[in-house]
Structure 1
Amino acid sequence: MSAQVITARTAPTAPMTDREPQRQPSDFLKGIVQSEFPMELFDRVGKLPVFYYDNSSMTAVYTASTRQVRALLPDPQMHPIELMPGRCVVAFSAFEYRDTDIDPYNEFSISFLMSYGRRTVPGMHLLRGLASRCFEAYVWKLPVTTEIARWGGVELYGYPKFLADIDFKRNAAHTTCTLSEDGRHILTLQGQALKGEAAKLLRYRAYSMKNGVPLCANVYTNPLQYAQTMSPGAASLVLGDHDIARQLRALDLSSSPLMYQYCPRNELVLFGPRNLMDN
C-alpha cells in the first residue's frame, strides 16, 4: 500500500459566522460545562475547556539522563521521574486533531515525566502512573501547525508553542511523523500501526510556566482505539539538524523506546490552566 501524506499548515481562520456548527458531543464529553470568551484576534468565540472530537496520536517513551533533563526544568519543585537512578523518562507524542473547537491542526509534544514538590523512588512513580492511567509531565516543546492553536497555548497556558511543519505519512504497517521548522529537520518519529481496541480513560497533568508561575492543566483522553507495547522495535526516533535536535542529543536518549502507545482514534478534553495552589 502506498503511503498517504497528511499535512496541516497555517491558514486563516474563518469567522465564527462562516463556520459549520460543531456536532453534538459524545457521552464522554456530555456533562462538561464550557465557558465562552471572545477571541477578537480571530473574530470568533473561544471555549474552555477545549473539546477535541476526532483525533489520532502516537507516543514513544525514551529514557534520558536525569541530570541533563533536570537542568531543563524551570522550577526546582519539578523532579524528573526516574526509571532507575540517573535515568528519567522523556515522551515524544505526535497528534493529528481532525475535529476540534479550534479547527483541525497537528501538534508534536516533547515532555518530561515529573512529580511536583517531592522526589519519588525510582521506578515506583512510573509504575503507579501506569496502574492508575494518570501521568504528570512538564511540556518542554509543543510545536503546532496553526496560529490559533499557537496563540491559545501561549497566551492561556504558557505552553512553549511555535509554528512548525508536522507531516504524517501512513501505510498498513507504520505511521511516520516528521517535524521541521523553516526547512530544518527537528526529528522524525515512526511507530507501528498496532491493532487497537477501546480502553479506559487516560489522564495527563500537563505542567507549564507562565510569567514565572507554574501552571497545571488536566487532559483527559477517551481511547476509542488504543494499543500499547514495550517492544523496543515498535517505534524509532531520528533526530535532525535543528537546534532542538542538538538539545535532545545532549540528553543521552536511549537507543530504543521504553514504551510505545498507538491511538488511531480518540476523543480528548483539555481543561483550562490553574495555579498549583488550586490542586
Structure 2
Amino acid sequence: MPTTTRIQAYEGRYALVDGIPYHLPVYARNSPALMAGFPIDATRAAALLPGNELHPVTLWDGRGLLLVTVINYLITSIGRYIEFSIAIACTHGPRPAPPLLPGMLIKRFGTGQFILDLPVSTEVSVKGGKGIWGMPKHQANLAYHITDTEVISHYEKDGQFAVRIEIDKPKKIVVPVNVGATNYCQFRNMLMASNIYFRGRAGIGLLHRANARLYVGDHPNVAALKTLDIDPQALFTLFIPAANGVLDDYFQCWFLTYDTPPATMPEGLESVVDLGRSETWLAPPREEDYAHYQI
C-alpha cells in the first residue's frame, strides 16, 4: 500500500477528535468495494464544481467522467457502515488540464474526484467524515449485495429513491490494486482535500466488458446528475472483494474563489456540532420502483 513512513510511524497509537476515539492509522479492512465510471458532458460537469480551482477531467470529444464508488466497510476505526460516493473526476489548478493526461500525471495536475454526494449508514461516520475531513456525508438508507452474478448497491433517503448501481460480478479476481486517491470536497465554502490508499485484488471490466447499470431517481440530492448526459455504457467497472484502506493523517484546505461575491453559504459547522457517535443504521431501503430510472 503506498502509504508514507509518517503514517507507518504512528501505527498502534491513538487519537481523540471531536469526541471520536481512533486507533491509528484510520483504517478499513477486508471490505468489499465496487466502482464504475460513466462518461458525462464535461461542460455540464464543470458547472457543478465550486469555485475556480477545480476542473473536470476530459476524456475525448468534450466528455468527462462520473465515478460511482460504494464500499461496504466491514472493519474500520468507527465500526461497520456503507459509504456510497458519487463524484466527478477532476483536476486542481489554475486552468483545465489537457485531455487524458491527468490520468498519467496525477501529481502534476492534482488529479482526484470532487464528491457530489456521500450518503453513509451511521451517524458517527457523518460526524467524523464531515467534521474532520469536510466530506459531504449524511445518513441514508443503504444496501450492498453480492450475488453469484452481480454486485449491487441501493441508496434511498426520506422514503425517496436516489441511486442504484449494479455491476456484473467479475469471474476472475486476479488484478493486484495498490493505489492512492484524492477526494476533494466543499465544506464551510472551503475546498478540502484528503488522501486514501487502497490495496487488494480486483476484477476489472473495460469498455464493452464494463457491464453496469445506473439508476438515478428524483431525490433532490441527486437531481444534478440528470443534467450531465450520463452515458449508459460504463467506461470501466471494478470490484475488490476484500479491500484494505488507510486514510492519510492530514488534509489540505484552501479558500474557494469566485468571479463575483458568493450569494449563499453552503453547509458548515452547524451541520455537525450536535451529532453523536451512534453506529445504528437506518432501515434498509425498499429497493422497489426503480427500474424506469435506468440511465
User: Same fold per TM (> 0.5)?
Assistant: yes
* Separation in structure 1 between the aligned mates of residue 151 and residue 9 of structure 2, nearest angstrom: 32
Secondary structure of the corresponding residue to residue 130 of structure 2: helix
Identical residues among aligned pairs (%): 22
Secondary structure of the corresponding residue to residue 73 of structure 1: coil
2:49 counterpart letter in structure 1: L
Equivalent residues in 2 for 1:54-93 (5 A)?
A: 54-93=30-69
TM-score (norm 1): 0.80
Q: 1:83 touches 1:122 (CA, 8 Å); kept in 2?
A: yes
The structural deviation recorded for 1:127 is 5.0
Q: 1:135 touches 1:203 (CA, 8 Å); kept in 2?
A: no
Secondary structure of the corresponding residue to residue 224 of structure 2: helix
Q: 1:59 touches 1:93 (CA, 8 Å); kept in 2?
A: yes
1:201 counterpart letter in structure 2: N
Equivalent residues in 2 for 1:239-254 (5 A)?
A: 239-254=216-231
Q: RMSD of the TM alignment (CA)? A: 2.5
- In structure 2, relative to structure 1, the CA distance for the partners of 1:249 and 1:100 (3 Å cut) is same
For 2:238, the equivalent position in structure 1 comes to 261
* Separation in structure 2 between the aligned mates of residue 87 and residue 258 of structure 1, nearest angstrom: 11
* Separation in structure 2 between the aligned mates of residue 214 and residue 267 of structure 1, nearest angstrom: 27
* Separation in structure 1 between the aligned mates of residue 24 and residue 87 of structure 2, nearest angstrom: 23
- In structure 2, relative to structure 1, the CA distance for the partners of 1:45 and 1:174 (3 Å cut) is same
The structural deviation recorded for 1:276 is 5.3
* Separation in structure 2 between the aligned mates of residue 210 and residue 28 of structure 1, nearest angstrom: 26
Q: 1:65 touches 1:252 (CA, 8 Å); kept in 2?
A: yes
* Alignment partner of 2:15 out of 37, 52, 55: 37
For 1:182, the equivalent position in structure 2 comes to 158
Q: 1:48 touches 1:272 (CA, 8 Å); kept in 2?
A: no
Q: Structure 1: where are the runs of 5+ without partners?
A: 1-26
Give per-residue Cα distances to partners, 1:252-273, cap 9 Å, x unaligned: 1112111111111110001244
2:145 counterpart letter in structure 1: K
* Separation in structure 2 between the aligned mates of residue 51 and residue 101 of structure 1, nearest angstrom: 6
1:125 correspondence with 2:102: yes
* Separation in structure 1 between the aligned mates of residue 178 and residue 38 of structure 2, nearest angstrom: 23
* Separation in structure 1 between the aligned mates of residue 24 and residue 114 of structure 2, nearest angstrom: 21
Q: 2:195 touches 2:251 (CA, 8 Å); kept in 1?
A: no
Q: 1:136 touches 1:205 (CA, 8 Å); kept in 2?
A: yes
1:213 correspondence with 2:206: no
1:257 counterpart letter in structure 2: A
The structural deviation recorded for 1:135 is 5.2
For 2:137, the equivalent position in structure 1 comes to 161
The structural deviation recorded for 1:83 is 0.6
The structural deviation recorded for 1:81 is 0.2
Q: 1:203 touches 1:218 (CA, 8 Å); kept in 2?
A: yes
* Separation in structure 2 between the aligned mates of residue 230 and residue 49 of structure 1, nearest angstrom: 33
Q: 2:73 touches 2:80 (CA, 8 Å); kept in 1?
A: yes
- In structure 2, relative to structure 1, the CA distance for the partners of 1:198 and 1:66 (3 Å cut) is closer
TM-score (norm 2): 0.76
- In structure 2, relative to structure 1, the CA distance for the partners of 1:185 and 1:263 (3 Å cut) is same
1:236 correspondence with 2:231: no
For 1:3, the equivalent position in structure 2 comes to none
2:117 counterpart letter in structure 1: K
The structural deviation recorded for 1:245 is 3.6
The structural deviation recorded for 1:228 is 1.4
* Separation in structure 1 between the aligned mates of residue 186 and residue 144 of structure 2, nearest angstrom: 29
Equivalent residues in 2 for 1:126-145 (5 A)?
A: 126-128=103-105, 136-145=112-121
Secondary structure of the corresponding residue to residue 225 of structure 2: helix
Secondary structure of the corresponding residue to residue 156 of structure 2: strand
